[in-house]
Amino acid sequence: MSQMTQTLTTTPPTEDLVVPFHCDRCGALAKVRVVLPSGSDLVFCGHHAREYDSKLRDIAVDIIDTDGEARVSS
């Protein structure tokens, strides 16, 4: 009979994982994060961010381009 060697494996904590966000409208990879006055946020692909740009600027506290983390508005 052979002996098995125990191996300890660990799972990294959730906060260390990089989780890609997907557009709230279509599910594509998100490029823009919109922070609302309530503190919640919405994320959009580039297409939908451009489509809703004027409406988002009216309601957003902040709009962040997630590719470069550039703030679009404040």
At 16-39, the pLDDT tens digits run: 434 578 999 998 999 999 999 999
What is the model's pLDDT at position 1? 54
- Across the range 39-54, mean pLDDT stands at 94
Band of residue 49 on the pLDDT scale cut at 50, 70, 90: very high
Ranges of each domain in the chain: 32-65
CB 21 within 8 A of CB 30: yes
Q: Identify the residue with better confidence: 5 or 58.
A: 58
What average pLDDT is seen over the chain? 78
Tell me what pLDDT residue 42 has. Answer: 92
Two structure tokens written together for 7: 């191996």
Q: Where are the beta strands (DSSP E) in the chain?
A: 32-35, 41-44, 62-65, 70-73
Pairwise pLDDT comparison (48 vs 3), residue with the higher score: 48
Query: 4: which residues sit within 8 A by CB, 6+ positions away?
Result: none
